[in-house]
């Protein structure tokens, strides 16, 4: 009965005091400064994310995934349109044959982030992914701002992939890439090419995503295996037409072009963070998540490097087509029929990216709603399917609307910045987790840690700004040593207060510190327009947070505290009731024994 009552208690709608009446809402607004300080300084607890917050979904997600599923989810989430859409443009305009080094740099940056994500996913296996990790280590406010930006990037990225799907489908049908678009003359030029096929594809993807996570996994790895076979064909067939002379000018744009391209090509690795949101549905997180995340990223980086080398050996960089690099390259070497295989491979890859994105994004949104930062009906998990249907429909609906109206080049300019920002925060959260454990770290050690982190962040930001504004190198002789001083300072001066229970990031603090440095540095290669859009969207998020999210989150935190106190009180009363009865029973037995004697 106790378990039934508890489940009933959590299935009831949560009443938030701040929104019960207009007068209470006004009082909540007046208390905004104090509540904001509370939410910025307060950090969630692991058991809260793993137990209390999860219960707000009413039903459990089904644990059906293994490391095999996660590897293919990881590869399916990453190997999509990025390699086909972005490579040609960067090769021709920014980097040339050295694009392979750009893929290595962006791959190393992504791998460092994968390590940080993996430790968190093993220790806190919930659907919230980076949102839950940041809530535990950096607080509610930072987690909300970061997750709000990444949700926008999920929607924009999904819309960009859906629009690319239509273009490659037209190519496969031997038509112009814009053949299936509907032109609406009365709309703005950037939003007048309507794409109904993208909407239809997203609708079909949504049906798979809401029906079953395991079913989605099976479809994904079958599609991903077929996709890898197509990529293998492109590599083998392309290398049979290789011409070493095309590699004669390896660095036509200089070394700066390598890093400039790396920042853009980082989009080709975006998506693996969605896999960490599936930790809640993994059978054995301690084993399956490290194998799945790290294994898929290593395979992806290898495939990207081989494809980029193949492209630049087939065709001189100045002749590479910006939009359909591989298709045109095969035509140039007399294999025109191969462009259909390339288009088919791109379609399969983008389908997997859309599916994994739909599954991961919905779980991300679900956990945010569990904390009341978003409407709680988004947190509900369907009892029959074990999937968050409401969150899936909302995310794909928003993606479909954006994909229907917005041109691909407009969408491409919105990508990467939120992901690099989020990855930097996750690496910082890992350092906080290891060196600032609550109740263990002393005040003196926390001060030393903060000073060292300030050196790491300051030198990284200074390097990014320096890179964006000058072509000189002398400044790095100051900033890189400062980064090293901050990292070594943590290693030597601040004792580690928490060690991972199952799987941990190696070479701490150097590896997460390097992740911060590289991700922030790559931010310096993005254009100013991207930062303006990032700031504009963050301002919108902040307004919503101050008027709605902050008070919902604060009330929810108070409810959880009250429930915890009540639980401890009930437990104490139970102990007090049990002990006397045992004593009384023992006394009666003893008296009976004495009487018999």
Q: Are 224 and 232 in contact (CB under 8 A)?
A: no
The whole-number pLDDT of residue 586 equals 46
DSSP letter (8 states) at residue 187: S
pLDDT of residue 32: 93
334: tokens are 């007399």
Pick the CATH number of 61-406 from 3.40.50.970, 3.40.50.1360, 1.20.1740.10, 3.10.20.30: 1.20.1740.10
- Which residues have a Cβ under 8 Å from the Cβ of 251 and sit 6 or more positions away? 96, 98, 257, 258
**Distance, CA of 311 to CA of 136 (rounded, Å):** 44
Q: Give me the average pLDDT of each 10-residue run along the chain (597 residues).
A: 41 71 92 90 79 70 80 74 75 90 89 90 83 88 87 82 83 79 78 86 87 70 79 91 89 85 77 76 86 87 91 91 80 85 81 81 84 84 80 90 77 68 91 90 93 95 87 86 95 92 90 92 78 87 92 84 71 57 45 45
The confidence score (pLDDT) of residue 342 equals: 82
List phi, psi (to 5°) of 386. Answer: 70, 25
For 321-355, letters b (16+ CB in 10 Å) and e give beebbbbbbbbbbebeebbebbbbbbbbbbbbbbb
Quick one: pLDDT at residue 10?
42
With contact defined as beta carbons under 8 Å apart, do 191 and 407 qualify? yes
pLDDT of residue 573: 61
Give me the pLDDT at residue 257, please. Answer: 86
Neighbours of 173 (CB within 10 A): 12
pLDDT at 471: 78
Angle, CA of 110, 407 and 268, to the nearest 5°: 15
**Residues 500, 562: Cα–Cα separation, whole Å:** 30
Collapse the DSSP code of 404 into the 3-class scheme (helix H, G, I; strand E, B; otherwise coil) and give the result. Answer: helix
Q: Can you give 229-275 as a three-state secondary structure string? A: HHHHHHHHHHHCCCCHHHHCCCCCCCHHHHHHHHHHHHHHHCCCHHH
Q: Which residues, other chains included, contact 229 with Cβ-Cβ below 8 Å and sequence gap of 6+?
A: none
């Amino acid at each position: 009965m106790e378990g039934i009552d508890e489940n009933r208690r959590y299935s009831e709608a949560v009443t938030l005091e701040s929104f019960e009446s207009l007068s209470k809402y006004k009082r909540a607004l007046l208390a905004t400064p104090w509540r904001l300080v509370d939410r910025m300084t307060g950090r969630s607890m692991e058991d809260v994310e793993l137990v209390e917050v999860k219960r707000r979904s009413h039903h459990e997600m089904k644990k059906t995934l293994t490391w095999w599923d996660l590897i293919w989810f990881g590869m399916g989430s990453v190997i999509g349109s990025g390699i086909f859409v972005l490579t040609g443009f960067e090769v021709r305009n920014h980097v040339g044959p050295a694009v392979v080094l750009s893929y290595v740099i962006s791959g190393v940056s992504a791998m460092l982030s994968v390590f940080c994500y993996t430790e968190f996913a093993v220790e806190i296996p919930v659907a919230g992914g980076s949102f839950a990790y940041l809530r535990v280590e950096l607080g509610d406010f930072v987690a909300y701002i970061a997750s709000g930006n990444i949700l926008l990037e999920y929607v924009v990225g999904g819309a960009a992939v859906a629009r690319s799907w239509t273009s490659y489908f037209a190519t496969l049908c031997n038509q112009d890439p814009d053949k299936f678009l509907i032109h609406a003359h009365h709309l703005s030029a950037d939003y007048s090419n309507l794409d109904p096929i993208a909407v239809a594809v997203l609708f079909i993807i949504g049906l798979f995503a809401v029906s079953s996570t395991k079913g989605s996994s099976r479809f994904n790895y079958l599609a991903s295996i077929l996709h890898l076979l197509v990529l293998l064909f492109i590599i083998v067939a392309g290398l049979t037409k290789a011409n070493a002379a095309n590699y004669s000018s390896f660095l036509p744009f200089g070394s700066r072009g390598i890093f400039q391209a790396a920042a853009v090509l980082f989009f080709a690795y975006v998506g693996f963070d969605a896999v960490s949101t599936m930790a809640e549905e993994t059978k054995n997180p301690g084993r399956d998540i490290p194998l799945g995340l790290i294994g898929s990223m290593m395979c992806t980086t290898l495939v990207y490097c081989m494809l980029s080398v193949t492209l630049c050996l087939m065709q001189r960089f100045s002749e590479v087509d910006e939009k359909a690099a591989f298709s045109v390259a095969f035509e140039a070497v007399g294999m025109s029929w191969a462009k259909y295989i390339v288009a088919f491979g791109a379609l399969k890859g983008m389908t997997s990216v859309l599916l994994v994105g739909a599954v991961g994004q919905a779980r991300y949104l679900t956990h945010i709603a569990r904390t009341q930062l978003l409407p709680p009906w988004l947190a509900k998990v369907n009892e029959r399917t074990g999937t968050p249907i409401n969150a899936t429909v909302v995310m794909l609906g928003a993606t479909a609307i954006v994909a229907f109206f917005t041109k691909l080049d407009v969408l491409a300019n919105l990508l990467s910045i939120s992901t690099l920002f989020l990855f930097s925060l996750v690496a910082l959260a890992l350092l906080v987790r290891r060196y600032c454990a609550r109740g263990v770290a002393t005040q003196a050690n926390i001060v030393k840690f903060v000073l060292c982190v300030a050196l790491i962040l300051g030198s990284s930001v200074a390097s990014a700004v320096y890179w964006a504004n000058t072509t000189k190198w002398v400044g790095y002789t100051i900033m890189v040593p400062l980064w090293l001083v901050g990292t070594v300072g943590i290693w030597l001066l601040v004792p580690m207060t928490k060690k991972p229970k199952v799987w941990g990031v190696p070479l701490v603090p150097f590896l997460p510190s390097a992740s911060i440095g590289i991700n922030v540095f790559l931010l310096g290669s993005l254009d100013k327009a991207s930062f303006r859009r990032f700031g504009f969207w963050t301002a919108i998020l902040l307004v919503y947070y101050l008027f709605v999210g902050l008070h919902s989150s604060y009330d929810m935190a108070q409810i959880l505290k009250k429930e915890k106190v009540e639980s401890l009180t009930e437990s104490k009363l139970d102990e007090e009731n049990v002990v006397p009865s045992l004593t009384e029973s023992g006394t009666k037995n003893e008296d009976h024994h004495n009487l018999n004697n």
